Amino acid sequence: MKEKTWIDLPTSKYGIEYVLKKHVVDVSSNRGLLNLSPRKVIKYYLRKSRHKIWNRSLKASPFEIKMNNLDRVTRRDGYKDGTAIIYIREVFELGDIEYDHIGSYVCAAQLSKEQVDRLKIMIIPKPREDLLLAYLDYYKNAYQQDRFFNESSDVVRHFEGFHRRYLDLGTDGKAKLDLLFSFTFAIKQYSGWIFKFDSAKKRSIMIRSLAGHWRILLEKYTAADLALDLEFSYPALLTFLEKFKTMCEHTEFFGQRLEFVYQSLESIKAWSFSTGKSDETLSTLTSTVV
């Protein structure tokens, strides 16, 4: 029998490991959240052989099918062995109805299709990986030095420089996506800036401007223009933006809420037309966001 191969999933921030065993005994009772370093946010998929990750059969589980599809997409789009992938949405997250009833180990083969469909993974090309790690490293170090008062952690102050750098990219859609996603992902990961009482107005202006960049990018460029596969990376991007929107708009500070309007109705319709997907289908991409 040929050895099955595996695309390693990123480290779960909830301390959950998905294993391919029919019976899993979980002896851990204190899973808790993990304090992940930036280097653990991403994972590199490693193929151990040239054949499919899973042996195809009529009894393949939804999770096995999902991983087979991930392998197919990475091969089809020419991603090399060792390309980075990141979680945008895990199968189980805090707030899910099952979360309090699972342990540190989950039998992936027993997951239902509905549960597997929650999983949102983004494939990260090297230029985006480099930018993402640079931003994550910077803000992690800044917050370790002084969580709220150090100027190096002042996201609002940094945004002016980011804004100029972003505009200098001109019409290079892929480069714009790499920079915009990396910055937004990092400030979501290190979100202490959202509670700074001394920059409420500037913070609101920053979020509106950031949303405007996303809105224009999604209106002007198709998923193909941005080199985002429709099976994994594009749905993951929309889920990420919805999660960022939720973080901004559900955080109230001194009676103020931030508005992050990242997508217009026109861009949703345009995407639906270009991909053949209905508005109803598109809405389900972000329906499980926590």
* Phi then psi dihedrals of residue 123, to 5 deg: -85, 130
Confirm if 90 and 10 have CB atoms less than 8 A apart: no
User: 220-257 in b/e burial notation, b at 16+ Cβ within 10 A?
Assistant: ebebeebbbbbbbbbbbbbbbbbbbbeebeeeeeeeee
How is the beta sheet containing 84-89 ordered, strand by strand?
42-44, 84-89, 120-124
pLDDT 10s per residue in the chain (290 long)?
333 444 667 888 888 888 765 444 443 434 433 344 555 555 554 444 444 444 445 578 899 899 889 989 998 999 888 889 999 999 999 899 999 888 888 888 889 999 999 999 999 999 999 999 999 998 888 877 765 555 545 788 889 899 999 999 999 999 999 999 999 999 999 888 887 766 678 888 899 999 999 999 999 999 999 999 999 999 999 999 999 999 998 877 666 778 899 987 665 444 444 444 433 333 323 222 32
Name the CA radius of gyration of the chain, rounded.
Answer: 20
Closest Cα partner for 159 from 198, 132, 186, 195?
Answer: 186
**Distance between CA atoms of 180 and 203, rounded to whole angstroms?**
17
Q: Where are the domains of the chain?
A: 17-124, 126-284
* Biggest CA pair distance of the chain: 64
Q: List, in order, residues 6 or more apart from 234 with CB less than 8 Å away.
A: 223, 228
Among 124, 109, 24, 118, smallest CA distance to 68 is for 109
Closest by Cα among 109, 93, 117 to 31? 93
**Token code pair at residue 86:** 């990141």
Beta strand ranges found along 45-168 (DSSP E): 84-89, 105-107, 120-124
Judging by DSSP bridges, how do beta strands 84-89 and 105-107 pair with one another? Answer: unpaired
